[in-house]
């Protein structure tokens, strides 16, 4: 079954003013929706980043994919590498670490691979999880992903979630997310306020939710010494501490001095980072993410590597919609050694989804794994057209959390570590 056409549709969807260690989310988050068409009339869906550089690289490789068999995933990966010719991508927000040329290939390939797996599943009449070795769980738990946030984007009405800039606001936000989705574990995005304030927020969460596993992720906002201090204070309260400090060398220094497991989606983001991280025992948990680890089949290989070296496995998320959620859910369902509830931004963005409602839902904090052929989600053409129009109208072409923050606070500096 040959690929005859590939459509790439950049879209924009509403995003609340979520704060992080490099600034604040802009009113629009960007993604690209991929539709791969075949000579047998089957179409597959993928979802990936929407930043201009990534979109340009995706467009560049499309001609090399036309005519390939949808089952020839290895040839497709090689064709992407060839077409990119060693270029290295970068992101403006810097929250996913150093991107290598190999990592760039994996990022570009991933969305096409997911779309081809969707087609394979439709062709065979099997869900994507079956193509990954079969689901070993029928529901995938996700965590409540809390953010410090403003009440609304400056100059606009408050959004439905309201303000969260202190422990009370964070606990209220957790309660709202847990009431609505039933989440059984909690992640707090930190790196926004001085560590003492974030420690207080974690303590408040522990008091309000005595049984929920907790995690804190300051996205490398802390020095090695600050990381050690926070880890000592919060050691008994967290299931893991995520990226307290930057780089494998920094994480290794923290790891040597603390007992709490350290997790990352910043210092180990492609295959060449694994050996040095293992050699230095820099991390105990890896947050995988098929969007940059080269798709679903390669993420299964990554899971095997983690198992080999005794590294726990969790899953990372950026702002995303339903095609990504479906892909994440199939992958997590078919990954036996996924040890933690996955991250998802979906609650923040679900209102603007471009897939037809009904296929994905949260039940007691988990998404039941779709059992219909392929990913199990279908595009809503009207929603896609609207989201594309929003992309054209909004004027944003790259995520820039720092630049957006500086519009309201010109003295704001991007500074890692900040504390
Ligand atoms: O776990 C993480 O590091 C992330 O989810 C990175 C994201 O970019 C997050 O910080 C965000 O959306 O602000
Ligand atoms: Mg993280």
Each residue's pLDDT tens digit, 330-346: 999 999 999 999 999 99
What's the CATH number of domain 133-368, 1.20.210.10, 3.40.50.720, 1.10.10.10, 3.20.20.120?
3.20.20.120
Residue reference for tokens 């679900």: 350
Pocket test for ligand 1, best of 20, 24, 262, 315 (most atoms within 8 A of CB): 20
- Residue 99 pLDDT grade (very low, low, confident, very high; cuts 50, 70, 90): confident
So what's the pLDDT on residue 143?
98
Pocket test for ligand 1, best of 147, 189, 319 (most atoms within 8 A of CB): 189
Each residue's pLDDT tens digit, 210-239: 999 999 999 999 999 999 999 999 989 999
End-to-end CA distance of the chain: 55
**Residue 45, H or E segment:** strand 43-49
Radius of gyration of the chain (CA): 20
Pairwise CA distance, residues 327 & 227, whole Å: 33
The residues near 78 (Cβ < 8 Å, ≥ 6 apart) are none
Ligand that comes closest to the CA of residue 91: 1
Contact indicator for 186, 201 with CB cutoff of 8 Å: no
Each residue's pLDDT tens digit, 345-372: 999 999 999 999 999 999 999 999 999 9
Is the sign of the CA dihedral 270, 340, 18, 160 positive or negative? positive
Average pLDDT, the chain: 97
The region that residue 281 occupies, defined by phi over 0 for left and psi between -120 and 50 for alpha, beta otherwise, is left
Active-site positions read 189, 316
Ligand that comes closest to the CA of residue 319: 1
- Residue 192 pLDDT grade (very low, low, confident, very high; cuts 50, 70, 90): very high
Pairwise CA distance, residues 410 & 405, whole Å: 8
Statement: 3-129+381-393 belongs to CATH 3.30.390.10: yes
Pairwise CA distance, residues 48 & 98, whole Å: 18
Q: Counting beta carbons within 10 angstroms of the beta carbon of residue 162, is it exposed (0 to 12), middle (13 to 18) or buried (19 or more)?
A: middle
Pairwise CA distance, residues 36 & 68, whole Å: 11
Question: What are the structural domain ranges in the chain?
Answer: 3-129+381-393, 133-368
So what's the pLDDT on residue 272?
94
User: Can you say which residues are annotated as belonging to the binding site?
Assistant: 25, 96, 145, 187, 217-219, 265, 316-318, 345, 399
User: Can you say which residues are annotated as belonging to the binding site for substrate?
Assistant: 25, 96, 145, 187, 217-219, 265, 316-318, 345, 399
Each residue's pLDDT tens digit, 377-405: 999 999 999 999 999 999 999 999 999 99
The residue whose CA is least distant from atom 9 of ligand 1 is 318
Pairwise CA distance, residues 263 & 286, whole Å: 5
Pairwise CA distance, residues 119 & 73, whole Å: 12
- Taking the centre of ligand 1 as the mean of its atom positions, its distance from the CA of residue 143, in whole angstroms, is 14
- Taking the centre of ligand 2 as the mean of its atom positions, its distance from the CA of residue 91, in whole angstroms, is 15
The phi, psi pair for 355, rounded to 5°, reads -105, 155
Pairwise CA distance, residues 265 & 330, whole Å: 20
Each residue's pLDDT tens digit, 251-278: 999 999 999 999 999 999 999 999 999 9
Contact indicator for 146, 18 with CB cutoff of 8 Å: no
- Taking the centre of ligand 1 as the mean of its atom positions, its distance from the CA of residue 190, in whole angstroms, is 10
So what's the pLDDT on residue 168?
98
- Taking the centre of ligand 2 as the mean of its atom positions, its distance from the CA of residue 396, in whole angstroms, is 24
Contact indicator for 262, 234 with CB cutoff of 8 Å: no
Residue reference for tokens 């420690």: 199
- Residue 191 pLDDT grade (very low, low, confident, very high; cuts 50, 70, 90): very high
Q: Pocket residues for ligand 1 (CB within 6 Å)?
A: 18, 20, 95, 189, 217, 219, 265, 316-319
What tokens does 40 get?
């047998």
User: Percent of the chain beyond pLDDT 70?
Assistant: 98
Each residue's pLDDT tens digit, 284-313: 999 999 999 999 999 999 999 999 999 999
Q: What is the mean pLDDT of residues 126-132?
A: 98
- Residue 64 pLDDT grade (very low, low, confident, very high; cuts 50, 70, 90): very high
- Residue 91 pLDDT grade (very low, low, confident, very high; cuts 50, 70, 90): low
Q: Counting beta carbons within 10 angstroms of the beta carbon of residue 414, is it exposed (0 to 12), middle (13 to 18) or buried (19 or more)?
A: middle
Model confidence, pTM: 0.97
Pocket test for ligand 1, best of 318, 321, 414 (most atoms within 8 A of CB): 318
So what's the pLDDT on residue 158?
97
- Residue 92 pLDDT grade (very low, low, confident, very high; cuts 50, 70, 90): low
The residues near 85 (Cβ < 8 Å, ≥ 6 apart) are none
Res 101 pLDDT > 90: no
């Amino acid at each position: 079954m040959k690929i005859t056409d590939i459509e790439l549709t950049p879209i924009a969807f509403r995003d609340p003013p979520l704060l992080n260690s490099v600034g604040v989310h802009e009113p629009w988050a960007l993604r690209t929706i991929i539709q791969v068409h075949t000579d047998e009339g089957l179409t597959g869906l993928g979802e990936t980043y929407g930043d201009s550089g990534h979109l340009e690289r995706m467009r560049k490789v499309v001609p090399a994919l036309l005519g390939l068999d949808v089952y020839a995933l290895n040839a497709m990966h090689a064709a992407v590498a060839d077409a990119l010719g060693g270029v290295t991508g970068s992101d403006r927000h810097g929250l996913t670490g150093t991107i290598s040329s190999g990592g760039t290939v994996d990022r570009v390939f991933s969305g096409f691979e997911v779309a081809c797996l969707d087609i394979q599943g439709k062709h065979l009449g099997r869900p994507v999880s079956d193509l990954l070795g079969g689901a070993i769980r029928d529901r995938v738990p996700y965590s409540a992903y809390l953010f410090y946030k403003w009440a609304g984007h400056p100059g606009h009405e408050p959004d439905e979630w309201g303000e969260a800039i202190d422990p009370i606001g964070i606990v209220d936000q957790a309660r709202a997310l847990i009431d609505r989705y039933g989440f059984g574990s909690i992640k707090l995005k930190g790196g926004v306020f001085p560590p003492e304030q974030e420690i207080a927020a974690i303590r408040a969460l522990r008091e309000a939710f005595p049984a929920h596993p907790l995690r804190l992720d300051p996205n490398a906002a802390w020095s090695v010494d600050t990381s050690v201090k926070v880890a000592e204070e919060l050691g008994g309260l967290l299931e893991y501490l995520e990226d307290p400090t930057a780089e494998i060398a920094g994480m290794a220094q923290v790891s040597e001095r603390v007992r709490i497991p350290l997790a990352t989606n910043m210092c180990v983001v492609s295959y060449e980072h694994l050996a040095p991280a293992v050699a230095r025992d820099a991390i105990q948990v890896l947050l995988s993410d098929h969007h940059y680890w080269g798709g679903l089949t390669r993420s299964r290989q990554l899971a095997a590597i983690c198992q080999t070296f005794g590294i726990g496995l969790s899953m990372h998320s950026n702002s995303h919609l339903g095609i990504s959620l479906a892909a994440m859910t199939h992958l997590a369902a078919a990954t036996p050694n996924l040890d933690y509830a996955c991250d998802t931004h979906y609650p923040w963005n679900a209102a603007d989804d471009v897939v037809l409602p009904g296929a994905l839902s949260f039940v007691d904090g988990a998404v039941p794994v779709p059992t219909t052929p392929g990913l199990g989600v279908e595009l809503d053409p009207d929603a896609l057209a609207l989201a594309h129009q929003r992309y054209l109208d909004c004027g944003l072409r790259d995520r820039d959390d720092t630049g957006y923050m500086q519009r309201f606070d010109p003295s704001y500096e991007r500074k890692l570590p900040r504390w």
